[in-house]
A and B are shown apart, each in its own frame.
Chain A
Amino acid sequence: MLKFSQYPIEGKYGKYGGQFVPETLMVAIKELEEAYKKSKVDQDFQKKLKYYLSEYAGRPTPLYYAENLTKKIGGAKIYLKREDLAHGGAHKINNTIGQALLAKKMGKKRVIAETGAGQHGVATAIACATLGLKAEIYMGSKDMKRQKLNVFRMKLLGAEIHQVESGSKTLKDAINEALRDWATNVQTTYYLIGSVVGPHPYPIIVRDLQSVIGNEIMKQIMLKEEQLPSALIACVGGGSNAIGTFYPFLDYPLVKMYGVEAAGLGLDSSKHAASLCVGAEGVFHGMLTYVLQDEHGQIQTTHSISAGLDYPGVGPEHSFLKMRERARYATATDEEAVNAFLELSKNEGIVPALEPAHALAYAIKLAHTMGRDKIIVVTLSGRGDKDAEVVAKHLGVKI
């Protein structure tokens, strides 16, 4: 039997994944696959990537023992993987630097990307600014309203923003528009996807680039604790910080993994974004995966207090890990996420983004049930400055 880490096989994780895209894009994704394979063994490329990750993005990020929080809960030791300290304020830079280098290698001068919360848009704008590429970002108008700060940051970084008014005006529609742009300008343009979603090879490219998170965790925890963690916890929208955290540990069966999806106003409210927990298999944005859809196969609109989790699909590797029961998937509501956001801010002096606040909410519950000799690592995928306004509004505070 194959090890978990050996997937995908021909672009598939079990039955999930694949390449469900219009014919116009088939050549482009095959070309990308070739270029990516070459880059993996290209020493010059790998050297450059390493250089930018350490000198520019600020890696490795710390693995911090959250002692106050641990003591307050009185269970397993909680460590935080501080992706919020990476340049740009989130884990997204790990991926955008790598893919922007790839775009350059392929001779593409124009880069397009989609963004939900704006973190991937910002990280793309950052990578393109430093590498001398033109960045154009698609963003739903609803997201633009709730993430004004990031919209302004992208503009400062020299990116052009395309406001998307179609469909639900959020992340899924931004991806639709980016795909349409790509089909139109495929000869000159690199599509820089921000998560482990889309047609093969994107899920593997983004996973490999984000695996730096898990690789560092493994080294750091062995140094600090001389043992592997009992559990890894990360939030799942598309699922890139979660896959990046999980992947290096997939073949260590004693390490449990938990992906936490957004339950929004509750799983029975239809205002959530829990594709894995309550969705069904479907074909969406180029992949076969779990999707929130109605009985006729129409993709549903989602809700989450965190724009970064507000997506009706999920990376195909997560669908595979769920089916094979290698990872478990849970949810946290808007309310629980905000509480965890406040809890971490007060106890540790760290303001997390609302996305990883979902992971924290679940970690707090889980730690409570585990012995003090156990270790939990939570990936803190981003910092919370961008969410201050949303949280204040949620609490009824005027700022």
Chain B
Amino acid sequence: MREIEKMFLTLRRRKEGALIAYVTGGDPKPEYTPKIAEALIKGGADIIELGIPFSDPIADGPTIQAATVRALKAKTTPRTVLKIIKKIKENHSVPIIILTYYNPIYRMGLENFFRLASRYELDGLIVPDLPIEEAYDYKKVAEEYDIDTIFLTAPSTSQKRLEKIISYTSGFLYLVSIFGVTGAREKIQDLTIKLIKKTLPLTTGKIPLAVGFGLSKPEHIKTVILNGADGAIVGSSFVKIIEENLENSKKMLNKIENHTKKLKKATVKECSN
């Protein structure tokens, strides 16, 4: 059994949802990322998602765009981020996934990318600009290297299309919970809850469902988990902490750990009180 699947099974037994924590690899500098991952793990993150910075991140809002600029300025490459995975895995067993736009993979070549990813113990991959129509070869090579391919479903996705997406997906299904790009929002939209309820009958028993885009507060996490999602993905609010504490790394790491703790607590389905 693969690591991501195992993690979701364990959490289900513990009656918890998964907290999937995203930061951009190499932000603000590559040497920070293992420490930031450490803080996320200490705070209780169940899966770590690292972004490979790309010059033109069309699915991302201003917060992650700025992280991308910082990481690229610090000369972060796809290889840098892949290497960081192995470094984190030396001390921790959490599953680690990568989010990248397709061009850095295409440039390296599918075979080369996955060979390297497998060597550095990557568990799963999210590519937001690679829809299933273009993913045949990608999926095939990922299978060969035993790496999960996490596809996205969106508010505009039809039922029929969703079934097809699920058949391409392994690890978990990523539900984009709103129309738009990544970035923290004040409130959970009614649309998000409707989408979770619409998607669950198709995923239950087949594949875990994780919700992302716009989630940043414990009450957001609580809402999506109580409505049946198996996991919640949080990114921009971690990236914001990095951005606001560039001059003080100790404070940055403390704040990340504390924020993670609060979010993780909100994934617990049955509270004692």
Using CB atoms and an 8 Å cutoff, list the residues of chain A in contact with chain B.
18-28, 166-167, 172-173, 176, 179-180, 183-187, 280-286, 288, 291, 293, 295-299
Contacts and interface: CB of A to CB of B under 8 A. Distances in A.
B179 A187 contact: yes
A299 B56 contact: yes
A20 B179 contact: no
B156 A298 contact: no
Contacts, number: 118
B108 interface: yes
Contacts of A284: 56, 103
Contacts of A166: 62, 65
B166 to A, nearest CB: 13
B56 A22 contact: no
B228 interface: no
B157 A291 contact: no
Interface SS, A side:
mixed
19 contacts: A18-B133, A21-B129, A22-B129, A23-B128, A23-B131, A23-B151, A23-B154, A23-B176, A24-B154, A27-B154, A167-B56, A183-B58, A183-B59, A283-B103, A283-B106, A286-B129, A296-B77, A297-B107, A298-B54
B77 A22 contact: no
Contacts of A24: 154-156, 176, 179-180
Given A28-B156, A187-B179, A298 B102 contact: no
B248 interface: no
B101 to A, nearest CB: 8
A26 B162 CA distance: 12
B107 A296 contact: yes
Contacts of A293: 103, 107
Contacts of A180: 58-59, 61, 180-181
B153 A23 contact: yes
Contacts of A19: 131, 133-134
B154 A282 contact: no
A188 B129 CA distance: 22
A20 B103 CA distance: 10
Interface string B239-257: 0000000000000000000
Contacts of A285: 56, 58
Contacts of B58: 22, 176, 179-180, 183, 285
